[in-house]
Amino acid sequence: MEIIKVKDYDEMSEKACSYIVEKIKELQEPVLGLATGSTPEGLYDRLIQQNKEQNVSFKNVSTFNLDEYVGLGNDDPNSYHYYMNEKLFKHIDIDKNNVNLPNGVAKDLDKECQDYEKKIIDAKKVDVQVLGIGINGHIGFNEPGTAFTSRTHVVDLDESTREANARFFASLEEVPKKAITMGIDSIMQSKEILLLVSGSSKSEALDRLLNGEVSEEFPASILQKHSNVMIIADEAALNG
């Protein structure tokens, strides 16, 4: 794992943006894996800027998001469909047909998971998967105890995850109890992983990821086994 140490959130976002832009320029049909949450917002702002001011085009880019809440439709302001559209897609020249997120309101959720997994396989793998990390070590919504062999699946969200994400909702009760997430194995199939970590609240998780044992009890620890991981972490995350 390569670790890039940066001063703060802005520098993390800046470095992540340069990295993704290089990939977009280098690859003919780049496939990006995307995350939601607070961590990648600065990256998305900068990608929009690159698209508008530097003519970096997303016309040939395809995307796969990690996860979506079960029960929230595309127009729900708390759905990840809505988040991605507001924070990135509607501002750039990406072809909406190349954008993929799990459908959290699918009638048959298991079939939705299988179909999503097949789409990722058909896309011949994600070139760069952007990840954040949960304070409990989750990646995507793969909570502690998730099998390392898991592919896209429906999960019960941990109470700690619901509490951490309650800041986006009117109340904790409104935070969904289930989500669809790419599995650990789906994430590990990506050719490269770009993990972004910012803030002292993530320092314990980052330390455990870097120095702890590889265990399903701490999902992010599996990244130690991936051959191409870049971590961009700020001082607060590195020093606590």
What are the residue numbers of the active site? 67, 136, 138, 143
Question: Residue 54 CB, nearest distance to ligand F6R (Å)?
Answer: 26
Question: Residue 193 CB, nearest distance to ligand F6R (Å)?
Answer: 12
Nearer to ligand F6R, 60 or 217 (CB): 217
Question: Residue 166 CB, nearest distance to ligand F6R (Å)?
Answer: 12
Using DSSP bridges, classify how beta strands 62-65 and 99-100 pair: parallel, antiparallel or unpaired.
Answer: parallel
Binding site for ligand F6R (CB under 6 A): 35-39, 66-67, 132-134, 138-141
Nearer to ligand F6R, 24 or 195 (CB): 195
Question: Residue 223 CB, nearest distance to ligand F6R (Å)?
Answer: 12
Nearer to ligand F6R, 62 or 146 (CB): 146
Host H or E run for residue 42 = helix 41-53
Nearer to ligand F6R, 57 or 224 (CB): 224
Contacts of 129 (CB under 8 A, 6+ apart): 32, 33, 66, 187, 190, 192, 193, 194
Cα torsion angle, 187, 203, 1, 129, sign: positive
Host H or E run for residue 34 = strand 31-34
Cβ–Cβ < 8 Å for 219, 184: yes
DSSP state of 28: S
What Å distances lie between residue 128 and 19, 62, 107, CA to CA? 10, 11, 30
